[in-house]
Amino acid sequence: MLNISIIVLFSFILVYSNIIILNEETLILICFITFCMIAFNKLKSTVSKDFEKSSNMVEAAVSKSLLELINSSESVFIYKNIFKKITLNLESLKTHFITFGIISSKALPKYIIKRAETTYPKRLIFSERLENQTSKLLALLLNYKLTQITNIQNFYTHDCKIATFLCINKITLREYIKIL
CB 59 within 8 A of CB 51: no
Q: Flag the least confident range among 68-77, 83-92, 142-151.
A: 142-151
The C-alpha atoms of residue 98 and residue 79 are separated, in whole angstroms, by 28
The C-alpha atoms of residue 126 and residue 106 are separated, in whole angstroms, by 32
Q: How many CA atoms lie within 13 A of 55 on its CB side?
A: 6
With b for 16 or more beta-carbon neighbours within 10 A and e for fewer, the 148-158 pattern comes to eeeeeeeebee
CB 157 within 8 A of CB 165: yes
Predicted confidence at residue 164, as pLDDT, reads: 64
Dump pLDDT digits (tens) for 133-180: 988 888 888 888 878 877 776 776 667 666 666 676 667 767 766 775
For residue 27, the one-letter residue type is: L
pTM over 0.75: no
Predicted confidence at residue 115, as pLDDT, reads: 80
Q: Chain centroid to CA 153: how far?
A: 80
Dump pLDDT digits (tens) for 93-140: 989 989 998 888 888 888 888 887 787 787 788 888 888 898 888 888
Dump pLDDT digits (tens) for 1-21: 457 788 778 878 887 888 777
Q: List the chain domain ranges.
A: 4-179
